[in-house]
Protein backbone atom coordinates (compact mmCIF):
# COMPACT_ATOMS: atom_id res chain seq x y z
CA UNK A 1 0.00 0.00 0.00
CA UNK A 2 1.20 3.50 -0.81
CA UNK A 3 2.64 5.19 2.36
CA UNK A 4 0.36 8.20 1.86
CA UNK A 5 -2.77 6.03 2.04
CA UNK A 6 -1.36 4.01 4.94
CA UNK A 7 -0.92 7.23 6.94
CA UNK A 8 -4.44 8.43 6.15
CA UNK A 9 -6.11 5.16 7.18
CA UNK A 10 -3.82 4.27 10.07
CA UNK A 11 -5.67 4.17 13.36
CA UNK A 12 -3.66 5.54 16.25
CA UNK A 13 -4.51 4.46 19.77
CA UNK A 14 -6.51 7.04 21.62
CA UNK A 15 -4.33 7.33 24.69
CA UNK A 16 -7.09 9.21 26.50
CA UNK A 17 -9.63 6.43 26.07
CA UNK A 18 -10.66 4.28 28.96
CA UNK A 19 -10.04 1.11 26.93
CA UNK A 20 -6.44 2.21 26.29
CA UNK A 21 -5.90 2.81 30.01
CA UNK A 22 -7.41 -0.57 30.94
CA UNK A 23 -5.31 -2.41 28.34
CA UNK A 24 -2.15 -1.19 30.07
CA UNK A 25 -3.09 -2.67 33.45
CA UNK A 26 -1.65 -6.15 34.09
CA UNK A 27 -5.06 -7.60 34.95
CA UNK A 28 -6.53 -6.67 31.56
CA UNK A 29 -3.46 -6.74 29.32
CA UNK A 30 -4.51 -9.96 27.57
CA UNK A 31 -8.02 -8.74 26.67
CA UNK A 32 -8.96 -8.12 23.04
CA UNK A 33 -10.27 -4.76 21.83
CA UNK A 34 -13.81 -6.17 21.83
CA UNK A 35 -13.42 -7.46 25.40
CA UNK A 36 -11.97 -4.12 26.50
CA UNK A 37 -15.00 -2.33 25.07
CA UNK A 38 -17.31 -4.60 27.11
CA UNK A 39 -15.20 -3.93 30.21
CA UNK A 40 -15.24 -0.21 29.49
CA UNK A 41 -19.05 -0.27 29.64
CA UNK A 42 -18.97 -2.16 32.94
CA UNK A 43 -16.60 -0.03 35.05
CA UNK A 44 -17.48 3.07 37.07
CA UNK A 45 -15.54 6.34 36.98
CA UNK A 46 -15.21 8.10 40.33
CA UNK A 47 -13.55 11.47 40.95
CA UNK A 48 -12.17 12.37 44.37
CA UNK A 49 -10.68 15.52 45.87
CA UNK A 50 -7.49 15.41 47.92
CA UNK A 51 -7.82 13.68 51.31
CA UNK A 52 -11.12 11.94 50.52
CA UNK A 53 -11.73 8.47 51.89
CA UNK A 54 -12.34 5.77 49.28
CA UNK A 55 -13.06 3.14 51.94
CA UNK A 56 -12.26 2.46 55.58
CA UNK A 57 -10.70 -0.59 57.16
CA UNK A 58 -13.52 -2.95 58.11
CA UNK A 59 -15.94 -1.68 55.44
CA UNK A 60 -17.52 -4.41 53.34
CA UNK A 61 -15.41 -4.98 50.24
CA UNK A 62 -17.15 -5.29 46.91
CA UNK A 63 -14.58 -4.64 44.24
CA UNK A 64 -11.35 -3.13 43.04
CA UNK A 65 -10.20 0.35 42.07
CA UNK A 66 -7.73 1.37 39.40
CA UNK A 67 -5.99 4.76 39.57
CA UNK A 68 -6.31 6.59 36.27
CA UNK A 69 -4.81 9.79 37.67
CA UNK A 70 -3.80 11.05 41.09
CA UNK A 71 -2.61 9.13 44.12
CA UNK A 72 -4.01 7.01 46.95
CA UNK A 73 -2.48 6.15 50.31
CA UNK A 74 -3.31 2.81 51.89
CA UNK A 75 -3.40 2.77 55.71
CA UNK A 76 -3.79 -0.02 58.26
CA UNK A 77 -4.34 0.35 62.00
CA UNK A 78 -1.68 -0.96 64.35
CA UNK A 79 -2.50 -2.77 67.61
CA UNK A 80 -3.21 0.56 69.34
CA UNK A 81 -5.59 1.75 66.62
CA UNK A 82 -3.17 4.28 65.11
CA UNK A 83 -3.15 4.38 61.30
CA UNK A 84 0.16 3.56 59.62
CA UNK A 85 0.70 4.13 55.91
CA UNK A 86 1.31 0.80 54.18
CA UNK A 87 1.90 2.13 50.68
CA UNK A 88 1.21 4.99 48.32
CA UNK A 89 -0.18 4.19 44.89
CA UNK A 90 -0.24 6.30 41.71
CA UNK A 91 -1.57 6.23 38.16
CA UNK A 92 -1.72 2.69 36.76
CA UNK A 93 -1.80 1.06 40.19
CA UNK A 94 -4.84 -0.74 41.55
CA UNK A 95 -6.09 -1.93 44.92
CA UNK A 96 -8.93 -3.86 46.54
CA UNK A 97 -8.81 -6.60 43.92
CA UNK A 98 -9.18 -9.48 46.38
CA UNK A 99 -12.76 -8.45 47.21
CA UNK A 100 -13.76 -8.67 43.56
CA UNK A 101 -14.20 -12.43 43.77
CA UNK A 102 -14.66 -12.98 47.51
CA UNK A 103 -16.43 -10.21 49.40
CA UNK A 104 -14.74 -9.60 52.73
CA UNK A 105 -14.17 -6.66 55.07
CA UNK A 106 -11.48 -4.25 53.92
CA UNK A 107 -8.18 -4.95 55.65
CA UNK A 108 -6.96 -1.37 55.24
CA UNK A 109 -8.24 2.14 54.53
CA UNK A 110 -7.73 3.98 51.23
CA UNK A 111 -7.55 7.76 51.03
CA UNK A 112 -6.64 10.06 48.15
CA UNK A 113 -3.62 12.32 48.60
CA UNK A 114 -4.51 14.62 45.70
CA UNK A 115 -7.32 15.03 43.16
CA UNK A 116 -7.76 11.49 41.86
CA UNK A 117 -9.76 9.66 39.21
CA UNK A 118 -10.52 6.05 40.08
CA UNK A 119 -12.05 3.38 37.90
CA UNK A 120 -14.13 0.93 39.92
CA UNK A 121 -14.89 -2.64 38.96
CA UNK A 122 -17.38 -4.23 41.32
CA UNK A 123 -18.37 -7.81 42.06
CA UNK A 124 -22.03 -7.26 41.10
CA UNK A 125 -20.98 -6.00 37.65
CA UNK A 126 -18.62 -8.94 37.18
CA UNK A 127 -21.38 -11.41 38.12
CA UNK A 128 -23.72 -9.75 35.61
CA UNK A 129 -21.00 -9.96 32.95
CA UNK A 130 -20.53 -13.66 33.76
CA UNK A 131 -24.13 -14.29 32.72
CA UNK A 132 -23.88 -12.26 29.50
CA UNK A 133 -20.28 -12.96 28.44
CA UNK A 134 -18.71 -15.88 30.28
CA UNK A 135 -15.63 -15.91 28.02
CA UNK A 136 -14.84 -12.25 28.75
CA UNK A 137 -15.38 -12.81 32.46
CA UNK A 138 -13.05 -15.80 32.30
CA UNK A 139 -10.36 -13.66 30.63
CA UNK A 140 -10.72 -11.00 33.33
CA UNK A 141 -10.56 -13.57 36.13
CA UNK A 142 -7.48 -15.26 34.62
CA UNK A 143 -5.79 -11.85 34.45
CA UNK A 144 -6.73 -11.12 38.03
CA UNK A 145 -5.54 -14.56 39.16
CA UNK A 146 -2.21 -14.02 37.40
CA UNK A 147 -1.66 -10.69 39.18
CA UNK A 148 -2.73 -11.97 42.61
CA UNK A 149 -0.49 -15.01 42.16
CA UNK A 150 2.49 -12.79 41.26
CA UNK A 151 1.84 -10.62 44.33
CA UNK A 152 1.53 -13.68 46.57
CA UNK A 153 4.82 -15.08 45.26
CA UNK A 154 6.54 -11.72 45.83
CA UNK A 155 5.12 -11.54 49.35
CA UNK A 156 6.26 -15.10 50.10
CA UNK A 157 9.75 -14.28 48.88
CA UNK A 158 9.84 -11.16 51.07
CA UNK A 159 8.66 -13.09 54.14
CA UNK A 160 11.34 -15.72 53.47
CA UNK A 161 14.00 -13.00 53.09
CA UNK A 162 12.95 -11.28 56.32
CA UNK A 163 12.84 -14.61 58.17
CA UNK A 164 16.38 -15.44 56.99
CA UNK A 165 17.54 -11.97 58.00
CA UNK A 166 16.02 -12.41 61.47
CA UNK A 167 17.60 -15.86 61.82
CA UNK A 168 21.02 -14.44 60.87
CA UNK A 169 20.65 -11.62 63.42
CA UNK A 170 19.61 -14.08 66.13
CA UNK A 171 22.54 -16.34 65.30
CA UNK A 172 24.96 -13.40 65.37
CA UNK A 173 23.60 -12.25 68.77
CA UNK A 174 23.81 -15.77 70.22
CA UNK A 175 27.38 -16.25 69.05
CA UNK A 176 28.40 -12.96 70.76
CA UNK A 177 27.00 -14.13 74.07
Does residue 92 contact residue 67 with C-beta atoms inside 8 Å?
yes
What CATH topology corresponds to 13-176? Jelly Rolls (2.60.120)
Please report the pLDDT score of residue 101 as a whole number.
Answer: 86
Please report the pLDDT score of residue 12 as a whole number.
Answer: 52
pLDDT in tens, the chain (177 residues): 555 555 555 545 577 789 999 999 988 999 998 999 999 999 999 999 999 999 999 999 999 999 999 999 999 999 898 999 999 999 999 999 888 888 899 999 999 999 999 999 999 999 999 999 999 999 999 998 998 899 889 999 999 999 999 888 887 878 776
Please report the pLDDT score of residue 73 as a whole number.
Answer: 97
State phi, psi for 156 to the nearest 5 degrees.
Answer: -60, -40
Please report the pLDDT score of residue 118 as a whole number.
Answer: 98
What is the residue-wise DSSP string for 119-154? EEEEHHHHHHHHHH-HHHHHHHHHHHHHHHHHHHHH
- Eight-state DSSP code of residue 103: -
Would you kindly state where each structural domain of the chain is located, as residue ranges? 13-176
Please report the pLDDT score of residue 8 as a whole number.
Answer: 55
Please report the pLDDT score of residue 66 as a whole number.
Answer: 96
Amino acid sequence: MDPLWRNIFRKTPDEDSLAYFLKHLPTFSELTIRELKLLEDMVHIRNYKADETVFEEGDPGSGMYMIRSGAVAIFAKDHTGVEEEVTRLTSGDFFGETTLTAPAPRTASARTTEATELIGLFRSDLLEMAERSPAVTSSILFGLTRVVSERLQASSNEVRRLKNQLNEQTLAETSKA
